[in-house]
Structure 1
């Protein structure tokens, strides 16, 4: 890491790592195979004795490696592994580092697809406890001798619940449990989970970091804070060299080589370029989202607004203390749930779409779409009402979005 500012470091990262022909960006390497002059070097790549070389794009390319180095710097970590999507990253995380008989404690308030994956893991023999992680006591009460991991999101989608991050991090450090934080919503521009002792940080790069709705990607960053030498699920083949790298090595070998959800060089390049404006986008989206949240909270047609930077938010004090902004994710409940679809149809600016973290505002009725498959009981347990609307705030002028919300509510 350098002493330069966050954005300065990002925009000059490619040149700092070295580019071809003086380019300001890392080149897009589209080759799937990489050749060697000596077969001994090819053997060295397979056996892990030759570092910094590539043999097959499924395990990475120079373009994805440049993005991974940039992500590690952004999160203040020691390394990263990139994947084709955020869900590919979290699937690799669970399948690579957990085994049948292990126990996972996860926040009850997580992304719908993540919640579905947790159920899949339970079917594969990993015991899963879903708890209200806004209080560390619930996490502590769920721990068992076989607990290997605690998983939370910094800001839950769609209800914006915030886990008791500092206390959970301290608890995991005390018990030697891997603490994993999905930092997709905030991104390192607004919060670094290393500050709360997270061992791994997960991202759907598609959203905040890429930010333009033009590239899919995911990543896992190792903060360097977890002792992998004490983790029983590291395969013997990867227990060599620096123990700090064992987790990343297993994620790359098993998660990419065996599972194959590799990030393309083309999308890695788009994500890396998108990251250059991360701080600017995160700041503006946060400012606009707060203005919209304050407007909605005062409107008689709105029953409740969920946004971390509102004083009414249950975890507002923690958000103010830890985060540099609330980011783009917000949701609100209409007093008349039956008005939900008609209200959304009256909106002119937000795109009626799934997805998050775009330059354009995106809007979706939560219960009828992304949490429909989960069922009414799960929705009730997560506090998702039939009138809940999720809004991903884009870069439109705040005044235009306020006018649009106002006319739709009228």
Structure 2
């Protein structure tokens, strides 16, 4: 929380963080950060993509807005481009008219509507709808970020099996993380549900079922070992996506972050041997067998 306090500036409009961070599985102290945000008169917006509502329900811990890349675990099969915004309706923008002018000044495109007054706390609707109506009435109109009907249907189908899938995702992730921790070619494993993780206490507090299925580890041998490891995988797909029923893997230093200098990669948290895994729902024996073959190729 202290680092968040130090980061506040006069023009700060919101705090933003991931409930479970990709790729190192850091866990956000939602309640503590929410208190700092509210003490400074700004909302806390969190990305709950990796955790999903099955593992963490951020609004219950003080978050004001929750966003999801529903392309990932919510739809579950990597076949639909969908995003979601969930507003808790708790933050009162009318209390800070100078900071949130778009909510407190007339909107000429809607006949002078003042969102914080007409749709906020104490409005005739009986709920604080200022934020979500602002999103729908202006940003959706101006940007056109509307989900395609078929993608919406795919998301609805995916939600029906969310709990079943996440349970299997997490079981596989826990098994792989524990196995990797004792592997001779692994220097470090980043997974909050491990007792060795610096984030384990927060994981127990916010996601006792498990800290998701996106984890990373440092393979001995640096960049070359990481590339050989990825190229030798068969069950795992080599893609930049996460949250698929299929297991996915990537070596950021040679792919997504390859245009950065080594110093810039380190600044972004990408070390030479960092490998990210998004564990799917395959049989755990098959997953471990595929990983072991890749380790053999990376020697």
TM-score after normalising by structure 2:
0.88
- Out of 248, 271, 275, the position equivalent to 2:155 is 271
Contact 2:193 2:200 in 1 (8 A): yes
- Out of 152, 172, 178, the position equivalent to 1:294 is 178
What SS does structure 2 have at the residue aligned with 1:251? helix
For the residues of structure 2 that align with 1:372 and 1:155, how far apart are their CA atoms? Answer: 24
CA offset at residue 379 of structure 1?
2.1
CA offset at residue 158 of structure 1?
1.3
Please state if 1:167 is matched with 2:29: no
What SS does structure 1 have at the residue aligned with 2:254? coil
| 2:265 corresponds to | 379
- Out of 61, 65, 72, the position equivalent to 1:200 is 65
- Alignment deviations for residues 138-158 of structure 1 (CA, whole Å, 9 cap, x no partner): 111111232111100111111
Please state if 1:258 is matched with 2:142: yes
Contact 1:178 1:198 in 2 (8 A): yes
For the residues of structure 2 that align with 1:265 and 1:242, how far apart are their CA atoms? Answer: 28
| 2:125 corresponds to | none
TM-score after normalising by structure 1:
0.65
What SS does structure 2 have at the residue aligned with 1:330? strand
Contact 1:170 1:196 in 2 (8 A): no
For the residues of structure 1 that align with 2:90 and 2:257, how far apart are their CA atoms? Answer: 34
CA offset at residue 176 of structure 1?
1.9
Give the paired residue count.
Answer: 275
For the residues of structure 1 that align with 2:259 and 2:65, how far apart are their CA atoms? Answer: 29
Please state if 1:325 is matched with 2:210: yes
Contact 1:360 1:393 in 2 (8 A): yes
For the residues of structure 2 that align with 1:202 and 1:266, how far apart are their CA atoms? Answer: 21
CA gap of 1:238–1:328, structure 2 versus 1, over 3 A, is farther
For the residues of structure 2 that align with 1:298 and 1:309, how far apart are their CA atoms? Answer: 15
For the residues of structure 2 that align with 1:343 and 1:390, how far apart are their CA atoms? Answer: 11
For the residues of structure 1 that align with 2:221 and 2:278, how far apart are their CA atoms? Answer: 21
For the residues of structure 2 that align with 1:407 and 1:372, how far apart are their CA atoms? Answer: 25
What SS does structure 1 have at the residue aligned with 2:250? strand
CA offset at residue 408 of structure 1?
1.9
| 1:28 corresponds to | none
- Out of 143, 164, 167, the position equivalent to 2:8 is 143
What SS does structure 2 have at the residue aligned with 1:188? helix
| 1:316 corresponds to | 200
Contact 2:89 2:131 in 1 (8 A): no
- Alignment deviations for residues 181-224 of structure 1 (CA, whole Å, 9 cap, x no partner): 00000010100111221110010000010101110110110012
Instruction: Please provide the CA RMSD for this pair.
Output: 1.5
For the residues of structure 2 that align with 1:191 and 1:364, how far apart are their CA atoms? Answer: 25
Q: Which runs of 5+ in 1 are unaligned?
A: 1-135
CA offset at residue 384 of structure 1?
1.2
Please state if 1:392 is matched with 2:256: no
For the residues of structure 2 that align with 1:371 and 1:197, how far apart are their CA atoms? Answer: 34
CA offset at residue 172 of structure 1?
1.3
What SS does structure 2 have at the residue aligned with 1:339? helix
| 2:55 corresponds to | 190
What SS does structure 2 have at the residue aligned with 1:225? coil
- Out of 203, 219, 224, the position equivalent to 1:334 is 219
| 1:405 corresponds to | 291
For the residues of structure 1 that align with 2:263 and 2:51, how far apart are their CA atoms? Answer: 29
Contact 1:238 1:250 in 2 (8 A): no
Contact 2:28 2:202 in 1 (8 A): no
- Alignment deviations for residues 24-72 of structure 1 (CA, whole Å, 9 cap, x no partner): xxxxxxxxxxxxxxxxxxxxxxxxxxxxxxxxxxxxxxxxxxxxxxxxx
